Structure 1
């Protein structure tokens, strides 16, 4: 595999996980899932941990054991424990096109638009997903994050407590059209064919153009790809600089609160994700870029057909 683009010695790569902690980035691609070890903005080893063509990837945090990584495949959802040697269990459910995490379980969308909540049990030492309940259906699902689903005809939200769906969960349309991606942590965000939107008093325009990807960390940091360019938003700062300049009280999610970001490579980002203290962008050419607050560093991981990225804390 290609060497790191940054000036990181082999010795650093051997010891970094033990000194600064490790986060694994799982990249879903048409040829399989690549795991990339990160320590802050240092990129360590990377390898192919699943050979299934992956359409999406999500990480389910757990308090009583290692986090779980789930991949959406043409055979269903496959799940593995996050660790040094993740081993994926047998596929479960229907052919899947999108996967996310909501309320302590995986939320998976099928090719036909069915939305299932799926829990995980360990069988013969390998975690295997099982369908708990059918939440509802949407038209041509594209992405899931938290309670939000991006679909061809707009954005949907999973609701709970008294709904008509199984186990009290339901899915309702919340507007927009041609949704490409969503961010459900903190401020709800939606990337659509006409722009990037945030949910205030209805959907409000953040950036105009063709928005194809969006991610947020729940603490006010967010990234989005609009017309092929990467835009970022810093953490929440009530009544910040832009609001003071305009003499207005705003929620700080309109166009003035986003800034263009320069990746270290001239490539379009396709997948965006956040981990503990880091943001990650994976490009169409198969380059993983990571920023821990001091600027972007990058590593060519040699894959194409990138479909998603999810990060998990290992150490």
Structure 2
């Protein structure tokens, strides 16, 4: 495993964070949740903030109070306020396999172990469930993002209070911000006049920021979308990561792209190339980014 690049002192990191702002990346793993502090592409401190297995993680943005980070775990959903000392609290006991922001300010979409897809709304404090509404059931849910759900039997879109089957098969991940994207066992697809092929080959992960930027993992390569308005194979280029490892979790934050590898290395790009830090975890299942300051 390669060592971290561009090592800087704690004082330098604090100075840089003061001018560029801080974003925290929450990495869901089989051994818990690791929080990694970022300031643009400078990687700061990282620590384990939850020690229970997490299958997925999402950030719930809020207007006038601290954002929340929500984890899907084998024991149910758990929630913590974004900040210097996040303390995760269990909010239900229904095993969850995936979670994604619902598009509003008070709730998430949760995919349960039994295939149920639910909209879970939280009270103002962010750690108490106010309501749970069942939207439908899918076979072997795998990922949730925005209004899209990835499942073994295809991609579903949340419409009103239910689910609509929008096609494909063996969907492994989805990106619901901006152009809808789906990673499947047969390739990466974008939604035009029906699902259109962007890349052929087994695609395992995809993420987008809603502003024309996107990343995907296909046949083990990390690919970055490079052309606004077009989505075919010519608009994707293989990224030159600084480590010879496979990216398994992708995310976007304020001006940054993040890819976490199967070996537990977090890579971040703020527009000037990738930097990385080994964070010492395996069994990586997801990543979500929260603006702290």
TM norm. shorter chain > 0.5? yes
Shift in Å at residue 93 of structure 1?
A: 4.9
Equivalence map 1:82-231=2 (5 Å): 82-104=82-104, 105-121=107-123, 127-160=127-160, 169-231=161-223
* Aligned with residue 263 of structure 1, among 219, 237, 241: 241
Unaligned runs of 5+ in 1: 161-168, 237-250
Q: Deviations over 1:216-245 (max 9, x none)?
A: 000000000000000001352xxxxxxxxx
Shift in Å at residue 87 of structure 1?
A: 1.0
CA–CA distance in structure 1, aligned partners of residues 131 and 260 of structure 2: 30
RMSD value over aligned CA atoms? 1.5
User: TM-score, with normalisation over the residues of structure 2?
Assistant: 0.96
Give the count of matched residue pairs. Answer: 290
Shift in Å at residue 198 of structure 1?
A: 0.2
User: Which residue is equivalent to 2:271?
Assistant: 293
Unaligned runs of 5+ in 2: none
Shift in Å at residue 3 of structure 1?
A: 7.9
CA–CA distance in structure 1, aligned partners of residues 135 and 122 of structure 2: 17
CA–CA distance in structure 2, aligned partners of residues 23 and 139 of structure 1: 35
The secondary structure found in structure 1 opposite 2:13 is helix
CA–CA distance in structure 1, aligned partners of residues 96 and 49 of structure 2: 19
Contact 2:227 2:235 (8 Å CA) reproduced: no
The secondary structure found in structure 2 opposite 1:127 is coil
The secondary structure found in structure 1 opposite 2:14 is helix
The higher radius of gyration belongs to: 1
User: TM-score, with normalisation over the residues of structure 1?
Assistant: 0.89
Contact 2:91 2:127 (8 Å CA) reproduced: no
Shift in Å at residue 136 of structure 1?
A: 1.1
Query: Structure 1 pair 3/83, CA: closer, same or farther in 2 (3 Å)?
Result: farther
Contact 2:215 2:223 (8 Å CA) reproduced: yes
The secondary structure found in structure 2 opposite 1:26 is strand
Segment drifting more, 12-21 vs 301-310: 12-21
The secondary structure found in structure 1 opposite 2:19 is helix
Q: Deviations over 1:81-106 (max 9, x none)?
A: 10000111223151000000113211
CA–CA distance in structure 2, aligned partners of residues 80 and 8 of structure 1: 29
CA–CA distance in structure 1, aligned partners of residues 170 and 232 of structure 2: 20
CA–CA distance in structure 2, aligned partners of residues 16 and 257 of structure 1: 33
The secondary structure found in structure 1 opposite 2:123 is strand
Contact 1:219 1:235 (8 Å CA) reproduced: no
Query: Structure 1 pair 196/271, CA: closer, same or farther in 2 (3 Å)?
Result: same
CA–CA distance in structure 2, aligned partners of residues 157 and 67 of structure 1: 25
The secondary structure found in structure 2 opposite 1:198 is strand
Q: Deviations over 1:191-223 (max 9, x none)?
A: 000000000000000000000000000000000
